[in-house]
Structures are given as structure tokens and as C-alpha cells.
Amino acid sequence: MPNGSEIAVLDVDSIRADFPVISREIHPGVPLVYLDSAATTQKPSQVIEAVTSFYQHQNANIHRGIHRLAEEATEAFEDARQRVADFIGAPSPRQVIFTRNATEAINLVAYSWGRANLKRGDLIILTEMEHHSNLVPWQMLAAERELRLAFIPVTEDGLLDLEVYKDLLEGCPQLVAFTHMSNMLGTINPVTEMTQMAHQAGAVVLIDAAQSVPHLPVDISNLGVDFFAFSSHKMCGPTGIGILYGREELLDAMPPFQGGGDMIKRVRLDSFTVNDLPYKFEAGTPPIAQGIGLGAAVDYLSSLGMQAVRQHEQHLIARALDRLEEIPGVRVYGPSAEHRGGVASFTLEGVHPHDVAQILDDRGIAVRAGHHCAMPIHEKFNLLATTRASFYLYNTLEEIDQLVDGLYKVKEIFS
């Protein structure tokens, strides 16, 4: 079953007990308030224990060994792939490619599908709110192949201008690539609608889902996308592993991304025969422990129910927007709560975002300051940087109040 089939109220106290770092004191008597989950999420004990157990009891390379450890490691790794497929509603685990991260997943599509299918003059449509990971690979390919890039503009309230998108589609793009949820604005884009529009124009659709899969119920069959990239470390799993979902006929037709072991069936001195999916795109020893940890993370999120996770974050972001707007000099960027995930990027008049983050850290509050690998959208709003608070399933309404109290302290220091 795709995630999101369960609806429940999160027991946040119980959830917080699952995350060891949440109980840490940043300074003596100053507990951690972790509001940086858009950068990376914390890991529950269940994930940490799964990784540790693999190294303690099953550590072996996979697929090629016939001894007991290798067989157990292979079974655990492939079982994790199946659980990921189930989590996003993928028809087959063959369509779930393990990469190093979402960035590599997007680069895989650019280098393999893009090089095989795009030629001089072809059009790629992107958006102004993209993370650099979904901009730079296409810029590099465009420079190499003399492709055209066009961008869906962002409105003043942080939404994509779909009227301009309709006009851009009249240019018959070969690819439309955009984020499901902005890591700076928090905007949740209408993927199903935009994908249908792109397909009607004959385009292939790639979605950067690094910020959406950890926070929203996702069902690939409903979204209808062609490629879908996300990362383990943003969904309670280990770092070092990401996921590319692809439509099977597209993946079958694509050339390998890298050469080496496990992506081949047979090698001669002058030729090779490529392996079946998904191994065709997984050259070399894969991130075995990370994959098993990701499987545990998927189990953890599934046990909570992704609809419950979404509802909890909606309560958090609604409270955060209300409280932040009461602070004189604070401006929050992005849409209203119903159109966004648990992300609030803001500026405080007269104070650099780095100074805001430093003073908040003195109070144990972890936020991010900078351009968040999204320089173009900052330039859109004439910003060099913002402070970003991002929320997840272990955050509480009280922590939002602590953030606001901390911002009043910043104002006091700089007044």
C-alpha cells in the first residue's frame, strides 16, 4: 500500500523518545530545539539499530556471494528496496534505483536519458524555485548540447505562475523538471496537474521530491510522473543513499550511467552486456548498510502514517506563520499554510540571517541561514540570504514559541 493510507494523531512525546539526539543539551541546561529538518532529519533508534545490527551480524557484500552472510545481506538490502517501492506506490522494485542522494539521481537522468534523447535546440522547462540540484545538471547539459532552458516564474505569494507555464508548453518541451516542494518557500506544487499538462505537450516529467516524500503521502500511480528523485537522509534514514524512481520503459531504454561491477551480465575485453533493472544503474558495491537503514526508516514512517505526519506539520506551520508575523520587522517568504509544507524562510529587518542563526544557537535553537542552495529564488526576492526554520514529526508547538522568544531576543540585542 502507498504511504498515507493511515490517519492518526501523532504521539509526539513518544516520537521524541525515539530520537536520541532530541534529548541533547547544546549548552549546559539548554536543550536542543532542532528546526533544520529541511537540511537533514534526525534518526530514530530503530534506524540506528538497524544499521548497527547489519554491521554486527550480517556484514558482507551482496549479490555475488553464496555464503550465509552474503545471502542474508542481499535479502535485507533487496527487501529494503521493496519497502521503498511500496512506500511510494511504485509498481515494481525494478523501478527503484539506489543512488548516493537525490542530486545523483537527477544527474543520472540528465547524463543517461538526457544525453540519449536531447539534441540541439530542444527545450527544457524548469522553475525559478528549484534547488541547485535540479538546475545545474540541466545547465551543464544545455551547454553541452545547445539546449534551451525556460523557467516558470514564481508569483509574489510564492506560487508557480501556471498561466505562464501553459504558454511555455506551447514551445513543445522535451522535458519538464520541477520540485514537488520548495526547500526555501515551502510551496507544494500541483504535481499531478502540471504533469498531465506536460504529457499533453509531449514532455517527459522529472520531479525533485527530496522535500516532499518525507512529509507528504505520495503515490506514484496518482502523480503520473516519469522520474522521481528523493533522499534517505531527509526522511529519517542514513546519509549516503538516494532514490530514483523511473518509468520502466524509459529506464530500459537508457544507457548505463556508470561502468563497473554489478551493472553488467557479461564482460569481454572488447564489449560488455548490461545487467537488468535496477542493477543496470548501480555500478560497484552499493550503500548496503544505508539501504537497510532506509528500509527501517520507511517502516518507521509507515507505522506513523504519512497523512498523520502531514497533518501534524500543517498544525506546526500554521502556528509558526501566525507567531512569526506578530514580530515587528519579520517577513516570511512563500505561500499561506494550506499551500506549503513545514518550512518558513524569513528575514528580520536590520539583522543578517547569520547573526540571527548564531544568537538562536546560543539558546539551543538550530535553524539554517544562507541561500539554501536556491540562489535564483533568493535573487527573485532581492535577497542575499534568509533564515530558515523547518519542522518535522518530532517538533512541538512549544518549540515554535521558543523560536519566537529567541527572535525577540535577537531584536533586543540589535535594537
* Chain position carrying cell 514537488: 180
Contact 207, 227 (CB under 8 A): yes
What is the DSSP track for 345-397?
A: EEEETTB-HHHHHHHHHHTTEE-EEE-TT-HHHHHHTT-S-EEEEE--TT--H
| DSSP symbols for 297-324 | HHHHHHHH-HHHHHHHHHHHHHHHHHHH
* Cell output for 139: 545547465
Q: How far apart are CA 143 and CA 115, in angstroms?
A: 12
Contacts of 116 (CB under 8 A, 6+ apart): 253, 254, 255
The Cα 369–Cα 81 span in angstroms is: 34
Residue 229 β-bridge partners: 208, 244
Residue with cell 536520541: 20
Q: What is the largest CA-CA distance in the chain?
A: 72
Determine which one of 10, 373, 375, 397 is catalytic: 373
Location of C-alpha cell 548496503 = 288
Residue 373 is among the residues annotated as catalytic for this protein? yes
Residues in the chain: 415
Neighbour-count burial of 224, counting CB atoms closer than 10 A to its CB (0-12 exposed, 13-18 middle, 19+ buried): middle
Closest CA to 240 of 306, 286, 277: 286
Angle between the N-to-C axes of helices 306-325 and 397-414, in degrees from 0 to 180, rounded to the nearest 10: 30
Point out the residues that are catalytic. Answer: 373
